[in-house]
């Protein structure tokens, strides 16, 4: 089945300058000086078909959020190109912003305002009909198991998981056709996690949206994603359907995606810190 391409990254590299003082200046040898540059993404290629749920997994600091932020037009790649439905994230930033929405664990809200007020503010920002947007937000919040009796409480008084559900509802107000979900289920209780997972499936099935999902839950990636990319040190070291990835690891009995993760990300790679 040939599907339209929703997201494409072509040899995307993102470097960060490392701040902080160089340690042990006396011993610093100019020839062996520590690089002050950090390669958060190195020549990353990804293609996601329209309507796919594409998983991004990998150890802390491997570059998942950086990749998501490049697609969300929040970071400009140092090399390579990234596009959403053929629109370049740098030269056609505004068009891309209309197609995507990002939900991340560190969502920003007006903490002193209530959930209802924050959602109304977002609706106004997106120029949505306030009545319709309100109904839509309420429907999403309910399906995520948000306690509706708390909708007028200050955001700062809500638990982390409750705030995360508000972030998801806000991300879906505009019915974006590409959802960038950066760890949407991290820190949620098991029931809430299932509610969010069911919701992600519904976004895909009901709205034919494309979903990029970063997660530390291998079981979630296995059950939810059509394809999964495993990252390590700013590079994609393996990608495929969960079944293809599991077939890469030999083992007695059943191999889980977690086994594959441990095997692939735990391997010593000779040229790991080498420049290309
Ligand atoms: N603004 C920044 N300035 C400097 N370094 C950064 C910046 N943002 C990210 N990094 C570095 O880039 C690398 C990749 O970070 P990133 O947040 O993309 O990882 P991640 O895979 O999302 O990790 P986690 O699983 O912990 O969320 C890390 O080494 C991080 O310290
Ligand atoms: Mg991250």
Say if residue 158 is exposed, middle or buried (CB neighbours under 10 Å; 0-12, 13-18, 19+).
buried
| Closest residue by Cα to residue 185 from 142, 163, 217 | 217
pLDDT in tens, 69-79: 999 999 999 99
Provide mean pLDDT across the span 175-192: 92
Residue 101 beta carbon below 6 angstroms from any ligand 1 atom: no
pLDDT in tens, 187-227: 899 999 998 999 899 888 877 899 999 999 999 999 999 99
Which atom of ligand 1 is nearest to 68's Cα?
Answer: 18
Residue 60 beta carbon below 6 angstroms from any ligand 1 atom: yes
Q: How confident is the model at residue 32 (pLDDT cuts 50, 70, 90)?
A: low
Mutate to test the pocket of ligand 1, among 14, 44, 58, 66 (most ligand atoms within 8 A of CB): 66
Q: What is the residue-wise DSSP string for 25-84?
A: GGG--GGGPPPSEEEEEEEEEEEEETT-EEEEE-STTSSHHHHHHHHTTSS--SEEEEEE
Rounded Cα gap, residues 213 and 220, in angstroms: 10
Which atom of ligand 1 is nearest to 63's Cα?
Answer: 18
pLDDT at 221: 97
Mean of per-residue pLDDT scores for the chain: 89
Q: How confident is the model at residue 276 (pLDDT cuts 50, 70, 90)?
A: very low
Q: How big is the CA angle at 103 (ends 123 and 167), to the nearest 5 degrees?
A: 55
**Cα(130) to centroid(ligand 2), Å:** 32
Q: Which residues contact 204 (CB under 8 A, 6 or more apart)?
A: 51, 53, 210, 211
| Alpha-carbon Rg for the chain in angstroms | 20
pLDDT at 19: 79
Provide mean pLDDT across the span 225-239: 97
| SS3 at position 259 | helix
pLDDT at 99: 94
* Pair of tokens at residue 159: 């638990």
pTM: 0.90
Say if residue 184 is exposed, middle or buried (CB neighbours under 10 Å; 0-12, 13-18, 19+).
buried
Q: Whose CA is nearest to atom 6 of ligand 1?
A: 16
Where do the domains of the chain lie, and which CATH numbers do they carry?
A: 5-18+37-266 (3.40.50.300)
**pLDDT tops 90 at residue 244:** yes
Provide mean pLDDT across the span 23-42: 69
pLDDT at 28: 52
**Cα(129) to centroid(ligand 1), Å:** 37
């Amino acid at each position: 089945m040939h599907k339209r391409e929703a997201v494409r990254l072509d040899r995307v590299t993102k470097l960060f300058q490392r701040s902080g003082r160089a340690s042990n200046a006396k011993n610093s040898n100019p020839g062996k000086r520590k690089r002050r540059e950090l390669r958060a993404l190195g020549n990353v290629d990804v293609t996601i078909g329209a309507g796919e749920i594409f998983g991004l997994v990998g150890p802390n600091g491997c570059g998942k959020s950086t990749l998501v932020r490049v697609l969300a037009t929040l970071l400009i790649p140092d090399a390579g190109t990234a596009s959403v439905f053929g629109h370049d994230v740098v030269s056609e930033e505004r068009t891309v912003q209309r197609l995507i929405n990002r939900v991340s664990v560190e969502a920003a809200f007006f903490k002193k305002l209530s959930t209802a007020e924050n959602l109304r503010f977002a609706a106004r920002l997106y120029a949505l009909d306030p009545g319709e947007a309100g109904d839509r937000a309420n429907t999403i919040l309910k399906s995520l198991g948000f306690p509706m009796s708390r909708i007028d409480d200050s955001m700062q008084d809500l638990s982390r998981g409750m705030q995360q559900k508000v972030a998801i509802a806000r991300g879906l107000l505009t019915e974006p056709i590409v959802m960038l979900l950066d760890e949407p289920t991290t820190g949620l209780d098991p029931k809430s996690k299932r509610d969010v997972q069911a919701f992600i499936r519904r976004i895909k099935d009901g709205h034919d949206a494309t979903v990029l999902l970063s997660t530390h839950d291998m079981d979630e990636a296995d059950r939810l994603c059509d394809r999964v990319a495993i990252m390590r040190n700013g590079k994609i070291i393996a990608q495929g359907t969960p079944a293809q990835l599991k077939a890469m690891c030999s083992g007695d009995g059943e191999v889980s995606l977690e086994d594959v993760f441990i095997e692939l990300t735990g391997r010593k790679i000779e040229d790991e810190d080498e420049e290309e």
